[in-house]
Amino acid sequence: MPSETAGAAPERHLIRYSGHAPFSPEIIARAAGTSVFTESGRELLDFTSGQMSAILGHSHPAIVATVREQVALLDHLHSGMLSRPVVDLTRRLAETLPEPLEKVLLLTTGAEANEAAVRMAKLVTGRHEIVSFARSWHGMTQAAANATYSAGRKGYGPAAPGNFALPVPDRFHPDFVDAEGELDWRRQLDLGFDLIDAQSVGSLAACLVEPILSSGGVIELPPGYLAALAHKCRERDMLLILDEAQTGLCRTGDWYAFEHEGVVPDILTLSKTLGAGLPLAAVVTGPEIEQRAHERGFLFFTTHASDPLPAAVGNTVLEVLVRDRLDERARALGTTLRGHLDELATRHDAVGDVRGRGLLLGMELAGDQILGAGGADRLGAAVTRRCFELGLHMNIVQLPGMGGTFRIAPPLTASDTEIAHGAAILDQALTDAVKDL
């Protein structure tokens, strides 16, 4: 068929699926390393790793070679058939995790993995109530969407019964404070569960949370919080499900973000980073939970469960992460990037806070103080546009009451030079946007 005629809107035949967020103003033609290239020939540094997924950068040679070889050998099977890439990936993934996490289900997306995890938790506990953070994002399928509070809840009819929101321990915007004015997260957590207990019908099944809330504003849980949350779950015989779609596999400087706190979940979900940009996700649990689920007839049969092609890619991702010590690289590069962002914060009044860990960092704008009500949202949009014009792709979070927060997550393979160049563009964009508003 002929290509789109000149001047026609590229989105003419597309259903708009991002709420009120517009599509990118230019069509992307190709990508390599830390950059994407538009049809017009412009190069953009990609500080979102695609959809927060391409931890090895774009078109990584090892991934390209694996796809070429595997697609010619074995690409797709009936979901009840096993292949060597699937068997190898489940074993290798289990070897990266602490006991008892050794039983793996391979799927395609994070929403699908969370859907399967919640379904498993309900089956093995015989209960139906799910707790998650009030600024969570776990996906747009049914159970995942019911546990998502940051967006997408209005206008779709009633949510499933038994979903409860837990207050977010946001140290920059504390709602419970101690005598020093700091976030009193223990009191906040206690009250949160007091309210959940009051509403529960005695059927609490699981708590599904991200160890660092990404779409919720890059909120890192305070030290000790995750252990206290796990204790709350044990008191109620609930399962703890950790969604590490964006934090897992070295992005935060640890192989898994939960390792930072020494808390092992009952069920772990992975996606995005496992396929390094290709559709691959996983649910991981221990043999006791898996056995109980199997005895009760656990059913999560999908077209692309245990597909060999993405599994082969997952094996290559793990190989590269180990070979190139990308957990160490994420820590070092994250420290460098954090230094650049902290320096910007000292020179730009528009920067209110810098936070995060490894190569998942947040920079929150304080536009309301500068421009009045709604100023952070307008400033965030203006900075994002100016970054794009200057050659940097950035992603802004806009949630009521917290202003605009950039989610900054370049590939783990980015160079020091690329990190410095991206920070310089952001510096210029901040200057230009504040001046123009």
Which residues does the annotation mark as catalytic? 137, 210, 243, 246, 272, 407
Peptide bond between residue 100 and the one before it cis (omega within 30 degrees of 0): yes
Q: How far apart (Å, rounded) are the C-alpha atoms in residues 164 and 191?
A: 13
H or E element: which one contains 430?
helix 416-436
Long-range contact set of residues 175-184: C-beta below 8 Å, sequence gap at least 24: 183/222
What end-to-end distance do the CA atoms of the chain give, in Å? 44
Number of Cβ within 10 Å of residue 167's Cβ equals: 16
How many whole angstroms separate alpha carbon 307 and alpha carbon 354? 40
Q: Which tokens is 185 given?
A: 């997260």
Contact predicate 422/387, CB 8 Å? no
Q: In sequence order, which residues have a C-beta less than 8 Å from that of residue 235 and are 6 or more positions away?
A: none
Residue 243: strand, helix, or coil:
strand
- 397: enclosing H helix or E strand: strand 395-399
